[in-house]
Amino acid sequence: MSKFFLFLSVCRLSFLGALEHELESFAREKYSSKGKEEYRQYTEETSLPVKEFYKANHTRQTVDFVQKQREIYSSLSHAKMGVWEAMQLLDTIVDESDPDLNLTQTVHAFQTAEAIRRDGHPRWFILVGLIHDLGKLLTSFKEPQWAVVGDTFPVGCRFSNRVVFPEYFQENPDFHNPDYQTECGIYTSHCGFDALLMSWGHDEYLYQVIKDYLPEEASYVIRYHSFYAAHREGAYTHLMNDYDQKMLPWLQLFSQYDLYSKVNESLDVDELKPFYEELVKEYFPHSIDW
């Protein structure tokens, strides 16, 4: 190797090392005393309620169920309200699938948005931080938690081992349908995530609600932010297209804020409100369809 290329490789390695270091200190120094590796622990030691949650979720999310839910909710005829009203509804919800957060959803919304804002990201990205989990108000329409929260995954094709607790898929009726258990199942190779039926939950629902108001990057992050098997574990690349490849970095960046801003301390919401009211007004009308 020439000295020049050796020099370039060393520069590249130190850049990647610096980036890695920056991401690791992201959690520890800026937002929490908890290390990155301590988040999202899905093992034998995971609490029973979280395991029970994933058992119900993996057993019941089927092609039929997802199609039915999409039909019910794509009409957006369940409520008319503004984003702030929705935020208030969200405050009554605690996410049973989350081993890292025992605070209310409103606190999580502001913590995520504030972490993004502190790092000087675009206004639409801060807004995504604030509203990304608003779809969880599906629980106020009497949907069970297993049909609202948790990691998402495509149905209609083979379940990846890189989805959390993959062993629970064995009790899913689709697991025994050979048409749904080939690598691509009912899809074609590199069809793109937008062609998939994702397990039903707050991501897809909120995407349907906001898609006409926000930039495409924002809509994409909202639609796939719980698809950890893809954006964190690198699974399902055979179903990705060029558009997904282009959007993936936004999803991965967002995930850093969504996860590592979860700290057990609250914020002064009243003090923050004027900034966020202005931001919401910039993108949304007074009332929208849910």
Query: Which 51-70 positions form the footprint of Fe ion (CB under 5 A)?
Result: none
Q: Is the Cβ of residue 133 or residue 174 nearer to Fe ion in the bound state?
A: 133
| Neighbouring-strand partners of residue 81 | 288
Least CB distance from residue 144 to Fe ion, whole Å?
Answer: 16
Instruction: Tell me whether residue 211 is exposed, middle or buried, using C-beta atoms within 10 angstroms of its C-beta: 0 to 12, 13 to 18, 19 or more.
Output: middle
Which residues does 252 contact at the CB level (< 8 Å), separation at least 6?
231, 232
What's the burial of 82, exposed, middle or buried (CB within 10 Å: 0-12/13-18/19+)? middle
Task: Give how many residues touch Fe ion by CB under 5 A.
Answer: 2
Smallest gap from residue 68 Cβ to Fe ion (A):
22
Q: In 3-state terms, what secondary structure has residue 157? A: coil
Stretch that binds Fe ion, among 28-36, 173-181, 236-244, 257-265 (CB under 5 A): 257-265
Stretch that binds Fe ion, among 45-53, 130-138, 171-179, 278-286 (CB under 5 A): 130-138
Tell the smallest beta-carbon distance from residue 17 to Fe ion (Å): 29
**Taking CA 216 as the corner, what is the angle to CA 108 and CA 79, rounded to the nearest 5 degrees?**
60
Residue 258 as a binder of Fe ion (CB under 5 A): the answer is yes
Using CB under 5 A, pick the residue from 133, 143, 151, 217 that binds Fe ion.
Answer: 133
Asked if 63 and 155 touch (Cβ cutoff 8 Å), the reply is yes
From residue 231, alpha-carbon distances to 2, 21, 89, 221, 235 in Å are: 36, 20, 29, 11, 8
For the bound state, the minimum distance from the C-beta of residue 181 to Fe ion, rounded and expressed in Å, comes to 28
Strands 197-198, 288-289: pairing is: unpaired
140, 13, 33: which is closest to 81 by C-alpha? 140
Stretch in the footprint of Fe ion (CB under 5 A) among 129-137, 167-175, 177-185, 231-239: 129-137
Work out whether 204 is an interface residue with Fe ion (CB under 5 A): no
Nearer to Fe ion, 79 or 103 (CB): 103
Interaction pattern, residues 217-256, with Fe ion; x per rule: CB under 5 A: ----------------------------------------
SS3 124: helix
Of 128 and 180, nearer to Fe ion (C-beta) is: 128
Closer to Fe ion at the Cβ: 96 or 174? 96
Q: What is the DSSP letter of 181?
A: S
Smallest gap from residue 288 Cβ to Fe ion (A): 19
Q: In whole angstroms, how close is the CB of 105 to Fe ion at the nearest point?
A: 8
DSSP code of residue 154: E
Q: Among 97-105, 117-125, 244-252, 258-266, which window interacts with Fe ion (CB under 5 A)?
A: 258-266
Specify the residue, 144 or 181, whose C-beta has the smaller distance to Fe ion.
Answer: 144
Stretch that binds Fe ion, among 70-78, 127-135, 239-247, 277-285 (CB under 5 A): 127-135
CA angle 269, 274, 278 (to 5 degrees): 130
* Chain positions contacting Fe ion, by CB under 5 A: 133, 258
